[in-house]
Structure 1
């Protein structure tokens, strides 16, 4: 689930995800286009593996013919080529052979680069797709679910887990390429000398199994720990920077520093362990493989007492093992990387399959009234906050919602404007029920001014438009209504930068930007949720004058504790905390 840490519930695996299950989930995350592209990449991979094998297999005849040119005339295949192309001498034949091989290796190098570009591009596009879909899913969360979601974990899922899932895909593609190349090379070695190949295989297989068994368990465990450490990091940074003033006042920088240091060290130790273990198989396999090759050469010399006859075979084995051993090492490393990253695949899969709110832009008009009929609501099942609420608000009416803290004033207004969904009863707009089919249309009729105005480090225009296309005329008009335009003209107009969190503005200016944002789309309903409670009386009085002036023909819903804030409202709705009978 988005914003939650997911652990595998498989009884046999407990703390690690089955590799094949992760592959299956990754496949399900792909669309038809992706699958066609994967087929194309698979075909390119087969050709790449064939070229790798051909590049090694051709060395043996080349060395043989170079060492004994007369074989060009005695070998039926070489002689057939010699006669077909009409070579005048064995020297001309070998020069041509050499040029063709050089051109082949140049083409192979170019193909490698292009193959890498194609697979990297595919992986990046998948990362972009995963991140985009996860961000969209995050925005589709119901507001109720969002309030109970860990925000730091949510950020980690959208960015880090999406990247890890794309890395998992990249590892799978690389793994597939290496497997095919290894199979092609192994087949070549079997054809050359099946007895020696099987002996080498049995010895290396035992070593590989032992190494994998020991290392994979550690890698999986470290992958789980990495996810938790990342979450701790994000949480700590959010706490430290999210309320920097409190951090300063508490004077607990040393404690936060220590937590950061401890987490960083733990994550570092995990990374060091994984990095060190990833080198170990390579060194072991290369040592074992080349030791076996040297022993084989010594055996041949002892048995045949002449290396010239088997020199081409030895050369080809040396080249094949020189290419094959790193491939086997890379396979182990990639498999370990996939074990390390497969937890992210599960997290992304679960997040993308979470049911969110669907878009609802069906028609709904507001000409008469808003009616709440027997509305019930609860954040948690069996713990109602509001019950059997009946209320009628006329269009253009100014309504104050009053009551003690925690009584449910904001919750009631959130039900009216469609942020929350009733657990029972209906919200009727001109007699038409508010449903998921028309919810977004209704929400766009609302302008919302909260107690704390969120501004990001950008221009006034960008903060007022808040992700929508910036209409300069509408922004200026909203600023004038909010009585902030004259201040902006003294600076850079609507292109004035506000600083992170609006630090370059006073409290009153910050609130006026919030009012301008709420008025930007000329909403029919304006909501003030404790919008002036943090201001002094004079500033509040001026801002409320501006709000009432700019919302003469609008429906105004005001949540406040101060009597001065609601004194000009037409009616007051007292909200009392629900007490179970």
Structure 2
């Protein structure tokens, strides 16, 4: 589907939404700093004209009313002393201009890149705060690309906008100065530049914006290809289909590379065009002034003024066009960041939620599609300390039911009560903290056993050791580097049973009141499964245990068995 292109005003409006109150104060400060910067830049150019005039004709010092006042006020004895003082003052001024320019550039860059931190942090926070139902519907690689790449591009949009504003203000002041000097020649210059800028912006900006869309799409595609490749590394080796993966990566890479090549070629093009035009205009100005005034000495200050003004204006116009093109290139990133920041996430709090007696499910109805409920008007009571197995055919809703109990999903109808207190957004986090969860597939990141066990909680070496002992993995670790044994990406350096035991250690690390097994041993051989189930039952002696399993030997020690049947709509 072809995406409708957004105007710069629309993108700026989206950007405005992402700014905090503090950001708006900083922008006001930067605007004032920009005005000061433009005035300093204009003065640095305009002051050269009188300096050259006085140097070429010292008698003008006493004839000009302003210079004469300064000459008299400071009591200069001759024009040479005045010019020496003038020269020193100019050097001091240009040193000040240099320092101010550095400070201004730092402030501008600091604001833009602090926004990158802000965007990335907010996007990460938004992703983490997504409810599970929304999370599983979204592409993780798209979320990752927005946090790591699009947030940076959005911050670059801000930097380009600030630069564009600064250059426009500088040009405006210089333009007024040129109008005062010679309004006829300035208007001719304006028409020529305006036509050139209009031609450049119309022909190049649309192309750059299109390349920005391609770059954003390919960034997400890159992450997707890398994730699925390294996530299925063994399968790829077995199938031997590396060429297919290479071709897929190459297509995405070439499309992104071609977009970057074209963009980086287009961006400096305005500068080349404007420089050629500028030199031609300058030559024309000199010829026009010579023909009009006939006297070289009289026109030298004017020529100098136009030469210096064009020397500053032409690069400024070029930078404006480049900044605007970059803004178009990064506009899609602003939209992506805006859409993610705007995405609704439910507020959740951790008000106390005591579990001393029972959990009740009253009239629970839930379905991923509201028109096709998996569970309908379901009721269940779980007493503290119960060992309950959930059985039933695949797709009946066993895992969904348990996910509702532990607060991952929220019922569409009915209520879940803990000791007669209904679960809601205000106590949901407190309730979830009581849960120790062992999934079917244990995801281990490439770090130590200790880091994987304590994941999401504060690291406590003694607690890690105790959890590993209860999970019967500690003896194995002692043969290696203890709890700091490296597990490899996805736990590739461990066997299936060892990964499962680390999953158990992680689940019991925070001493939960409820332990949940979601077909946690289905991928293991029978002997390993029996050993691990014995270990789990030992660990769960004083806890409420909820087990989802297909194999009967897995649930033999459960006191209650709840049969879940597929709901027929």
Q: What range is the shorter-chain TM-score in?
A: over 0.9
Instruction: Name which of 210, 218, 229 aligns with 1:229.
Output: 218
Contact 1:16 1:343 in 2 (8 A): no
2:109 is aligned with 1:120: yes
- Aligned pairs for 1:521-560 (under 5 A) are 521-560=510-549
2:6 is aligned with 1:17: yes
Q: Which moved more, 1:526-535 or 1:231-240?
A: 231-240
Aligned counterpart, 1:300: 289
Q: How far is the alpha carbon of 1:84 from its aligned partner?
A: 1.1
- Aligned pairs for 1:37-186 (under 5 A) are 37-186=26-175
Cα distance in 2, alignment partners of residues 179 and 20 from structure 1: 17
2:204 is aligned with 1:204: no
- Aligned pairs for 1:349-364 (under 5 A) are 349-364=338-353
The CA deviation string for residues 115-166 of structure 1, in whole angstroms up to 9 with x for no partner, is 1111111111111111111111101111011111111111111222211111
Aligned counterpart, 2:480: 491
Cα distance in 1, alignment partners of residues 376 and 64 from structure 2: 96
Q: How far is the alpha carbon of 1:76 from its aligned partner?
A: 2.3
Q: How far is the alpha carbon of 1:533 from its aligned partner?
A: 1.0
The CA deviation string for residues 302-327 of structure 1, in whole angstroms up to 9 with x for no partner, is 33333221011101111110110010
- Partner of 1:15, secondary structure, is coil
Cα distance in 2, alignment partners of residues 313 and 459 from structure 1: 73
Cα distance in 2, alignment partners of residues 298 and 191 from structure 1: 20
- Partner of 1:399, secondary structure, is strand
Cα distance in 2, alignment partners of residues 94 and 68 from structure 1: 11
Q: How far is the alpha carbon of 1:73 from its aligned partner?
A: 2.4
- Partner of 1:316, secondary structure, is helix
Cα distance in 2, alignment partners of residues 120 and 73 from structure 1: 45
Q: How far is the alpha carbon of 1:409 from its aligned partner?
A: 0.9
TM-score by length of 2: 0.98
The CA deviation string for residues 170-227 of structure 1, in whole angstroms up to 9 with x for no partner, is 1111111111111111111111111111110011101111111111221222222222
Q: How many residues align?
A: 569
Contact 2:108 2:159 in 1 (8 A): yes
Aligned counterpart, 2:319: 330
TM-score by length of 1: 0.96
C-alpha RMSD over aligned residues: 1.4
Contact 1:15 1:221 in 2 (8 A): no
Aligned counterpart, 1:518: 507
Cα distance in 2, alignment partners of residues 578 and 380 from structure 1: 13
Cα distance in 2, alignment partners of residues 467 and 368 from structure 1: 28
Cα distance in 1, alignment partners of residues 74 and 532 from structure 2: 94
Aligned counterpart, 2:550: 561
The CA deviation string for residues 234-292 of structure 1, in whole angstroms up to 9 with x for no partner, is 11111111111111122211111111111211111111111111122111111112201
Instruction: Name which of 383, 388, 396 aligns with 1:399.
Output: 388
- Partner of 1:380, secondary structure, is coil
- Aligned pairs for 1:115-514 (under 5 A) are 115-514=104-503
Cα distance in 1, alignment partners of residues 568 and 32 from structure 2: 68
Cα distance in 1, alignment partners of residues 483 and 220 from structure 2: 38
